[in-house]
Amino acid sequence: MQDYSVNQFLELAKTPKIEIEVCDVTLRDGEQMPGVVFRPDEKIDIAIKLDEVGVEIIEAGFPVVSEAEMRAVRDVSNLGLDSKISVLSRSVPKDVDAALACDVDMVSVFIATSDLHLKYKLHMTCEEAIKSALETVEYAKDHGLIVRFSAEDATRTEFNLLKRLYKKAEECRADYVSIADTVGIMNPRTVYFLVREIKKVVKIPICMHCHDDLGLALANTLAAAEAGAKQLHTTVNGIGERSGNTPLEELMVALRVHYSVDRYDTTKLTDLSKLVQSYSGVMMPKNKAVVGDNAFAHESGIHVAAVLEEPRTYELYSPEMVGSARRIIIGKHTGARALKYITKKMGYDLKRDEICLLAERVKRCSEFKRPISCDELRKLIHDLDIEIVYPDL
């Protein structure tokens, strides 16, 4: 039996089957988040966990940045993982040389293509940028690398230019073309349209790289997959510059729930999330989807009563599916049934009137705006001045 009920609207909406692979860019784009730096040993730990989850491609870094970065990427490349190892490269041959020195499988050659970036960042004409990019793509292919060509700020690039550029990249033997929504300007409708139009121009796989400036990165990534994009880009916990990227854990659960993509080991997602939180110093909000502390926490009496009877009443999927656990919280909204369950687990067998009295004391204590710990609950039980029966456990 599945952990979740199939949504009837998926069938009514004729949700398409999708063919995808995941490229996680935590070790590169995630590290571009202000204040985040992964040590070489930390990159190795994260890469191993990503591989265990089943991520097809790991973008391990930007080797031309420094000798230390190059060594770290080389160490990841030499782990012998099932995941292919990719790195970032500007549209210059020396960046490709740095990638080659790291023994990687794949290189992501990028250049900005919007008028805004050409004028104010690159100070190049469009023709100069295209020439540089295509020459670098060919250079990387001549040296045996899998090549992804990425148009930075693609979603603010003149549409006909973008289509011509992707076509030229394909003619130069690029293996993928990548749409970078660099400032997160898109929405699911515009992403779907864009990917469908690019598919009319190129036969090679399309990648979607979304940023979360409007909180739409996950929705846009799923829209791209429905439109036919093959490679979907993520970071663990959605970390990255500004508002971050598409969160890996949210994407993988959405792929399983909505599209029946079940080849990834989602049971490792919570541990992976905690590992990246520890190494990055970026803690997740308690209400973060999938991996937040409250993702499977229940306090409301009505909810708890239903969950204790049948977890699916208030859980779309089981906590075990993502390597987490259900938590019953003791607080203002905790009802008598939940308290009966909790106290029984703690070894007490309280009568109904005792449970009701305890519930009132819990509500008074919770006015201090925090949940009550088991130790505090135990003290409240002993303060009831009743005869406590301890069942055989």
> CA 169, CA 272: separation in Å to the nearest integer?
35
- Mean model confidence pLDDT for the chain: 92
Identify residue 78 by its one-letter amino acid code.
Answer: N
> CA 90, CA 107: separation in Å to the nearest integer?
10
Question: Residue 134: CA atoms inside 13 Å, Cβ hemisphere, count?
Answer: 15
- Of the candidates 140, 72, 132, 134, the one whose C-alpha atom is nearest the C-alpha of residue 105 is 140
pLDDT tens-digit map of 315-373: 999 999 999 999 888 877 787 887 888 888 788 888 888 888 888 888 888 766 677 77
Collapse the DSSP code of 342 into the 3-class scheme (helix H, G, I; strand E, B; otherwise coil) and give the result.
helix
Q: Which residues contact 183 (CB under 8 A, 6 or more apart)?
A: 153, 155, 156, 211, 213
At 298, the pLDDT band (50, 70, 90 cuts) reads confident
Q: Which residues contact 235 (CB under 8 A, 6 or more apart)?
A: 24, 25, 26, 29, 30, 244, 245, 246, 247, 248
Q: How many CB atoms lie within 10 A of CB 102?
A: 22
Q: Which residues contact 335 (CB under 8 A, 6 or more apart)?
A: 300, 301, 302, 304, 305, 359
Find out whether 315 and 387 touch, Cβ atoms under 8 Å.
no
Topology classification of domain 13-280: TIM Barrel (3.20.20)
Domain parsing of the chain, residue ranges: 13-280, 297-382
Q: Which two tokens stand for residue 9?
A: 């609207």
Question: Which of left, alpha, beta for 266 (phi over 0: left; psi -120 to 50: alpha)?
Answer: alpha
> CA 269, CA 249: separation in Å to the nearest integer?
6
pLDDT tens-digit map of 250-288: 999 999 999 999 999 999 999 999 999 999 999 999 999
Mean per-residue pLDDT for 82-102? 98
Q: Which two tokens stand for residue 364?
A: 């008074």
Q: Which residues pair with 88 in a beta bridge?
A: 108
pLDDT tens-digit map of 165-205: 999 999 999 999 999 999 999 999 999 999 999 999 999 99
Collapse the DSSP code of 283 into the 3-class scheme (helix H, G, I; strand E, B; otherwise coil) and give the result.
coil
What pLDDT is stored for residue 390 in this prediction?
Answer: 47
What pLDDT is stored for residue 386 in this prediction?
Answer: 53
pLDDT tens-digit map of 139-170: 999 999 999 999 999 999 999 999 999 999 99
DSSP 109: E
